[in-house]
Structure 1
Amino acid sequence: MNIRTEKPEDIEGIRDINIAAFARENEANLVDRLRGIASTFSFVAVQSDRIVGHLFFSPVVVEGKCSSNLSILGLAPVAVIPDYQRQGIGKLLIREGLKECARSGFQAVVVLGDPDFYPRFGFIPASSKSLKCEYDVPDEAFMVLELETGALQDCSGTVKYRSEFRICE
């Protein structure tokens, strides 16, 4: 399994993976809208020259009290072709993606997802760091991971995703 940054020739395959994984086009359309925006990261999992998984990060902002130089990303979506699910591909994508985000100088990552899955990567409820989601979601489903220890120490407020997330499908 090879995890690498998306290439232009991967775009159609990434779209297909997201549609297959979610059984709808919403996530694929979101990735297409976000692609090319500054500070986005798109990773693929490749097995035997076939793209079998995809992971995307995009910038978010905190409205409230935070350092002006705080750099936070939102993790979404994570997609693996159904025939390849439950083989650790998503976990590998997330681990490698988080390492690259940290290497690139980002201080934290938020995710809206399964509270039984994401804590294994170090994510904790965002509310424990005085952050809340702009969407009405269960507290335990909105999580954060500090990539830089103490980055969120004096931070509180509402995490806002890019406008591309709010476009109706």
Structure 2
Amino acid sequence: MFPITAERPADAAQIETLLDLTFGSDRAKKTVYRLREGVAHLRPLAFVVREQDIRASGGRLLGSIRYWPVGLGEAQSPAIMLGPVAVHPDYQGQGIGRALIRHSLYAATRLGHRICILVGDKPYYEPFGFTSAADRGLEMPGWVERERFQVMELLPGALDGVAGMVGKPLRSASPRGRRRAA
């Protein structure tokens, strides 16, 4: 299998190329991209998979995953939004995406994040523990197919009393919910 490593700042251009190749250049028109605008992704949860290369710089980027901070409901309960996760089309179906998701969800849990949301194919994400976010009282701005909007508690009970619209975090929030000035 391909090793998973932390994303480096130098990977940004390759990640954008991979995202265009995987999702198309019009991907930025989607609701989730509006939630990401002006918000930095969570670097401790940004991982990549590279083709093995004997050079010290590594090889071609084969997969990438990122997470973004979001707020849930009027209380702006802190959560993370998974995505995008992308795998080069020549390497899809080899388990790279699933490995990136497992690895990053484990890291998110160890870092103390409590709730994770995403918009994606239910059959793909359900085995990881994601369920309908709408059934839990959460809403996504704009039009999103109900079955594609999903949520997972990284800490049991984290969704108790949490409901409402997903939005950009008003302030920088730690994973455990304590807020600090941006």
Q: TM-score, normalised by structure 2?
A: 0.76
Contact 1:109–1:147 under 8 Å retained in 2: yes
Whether 1:45 and 2:49 are equivalent positions in the alignment is: yes
Equivalent positions of 1:80-159 (< 5 A) are 80-159=87-166
Q: Secondary structure at the match of 2:102?
A: helix
8 Å CA contact 1:65, 1:154 repeated in 2: no
Give runs of aligned pairs for residues 61-80 of structure 1, distance below 5 A.
61-64=71-74, 70-80=77-87
**Paired residue secondary structure (2:50):** strand
Map of 1:167 onto structure 2: none
Q: Contact between 2:40 and 2:68, CA under 8 Å: does it hold in 1?
A: no
Pick closer, same or farther for the CA change 1:36–1:137 going to 2, 3 Å. closer
Return closer, same or farther for 1:86/1:35 CA change in 2, 3 Å cut-off: farther
Would you say the 8 A contact 1:2–1:45 is kept in 2?
yes
Higher strand share: 1
For residues 157 and 86 of structure 1, the distance between their equivalents in structure 2, rounded to whole angstroms, comes to 35
Runs of 4 or more, structure 1, over 2 Å off, are 32-41, 63-66
2:23 corresponds in structure 1 to 22
Instruction: Give the distance between the partners of 1:158 and 1:126, measured in 2 at CA.
Output: 11
Tell me, yes or no, if the aligned pair for 1:6 and 1:44 is still in contact at 8 Å.
yes
Question: 1:71 is paired with a residue of what secondary structure?
Answer: strand
**Quick one: structure 1 residues 35 and 130, their matched pair in 2 at CA, closer, same or farther if it must change by over 3 Å?**
closer
Q: What is the TM-score normalised by the length of structure 1? A: 0.81
Q: How many residues align?
A: 158
- Cα gap change, 1:40/1:82 in structure 2, threshold over 3 Å: closer, same or farther? same
Cα distance change of structure 1 residues 94 and 141 upon mapping to structure 2, 3 Å threshold? same
SS of 1:64's equivalent in the other structure is coil
Determine the C-alpha separation between the residues in 2 that align with 1:37 and 1:56: 7
3-state SS of 1:98 partner: helix
Q: Is the 8 A contact 1:34 1:40 kept in 2?
A: no
Q: Could you tell me how far apart the structure 2 residues matched to 1:14 and 1:100 are? A: 20
1:5 and 2:12 matched: no
Q: Which amino acid aligns with 2:127?
A: R
TM-superposed deviation, 1:41: 3.0
Report the alpha carbon displacement of residue 11 of structure 1 after superposing the two structures with TM.
Answer: 1.7
**Paired-residue identity, %:** 32
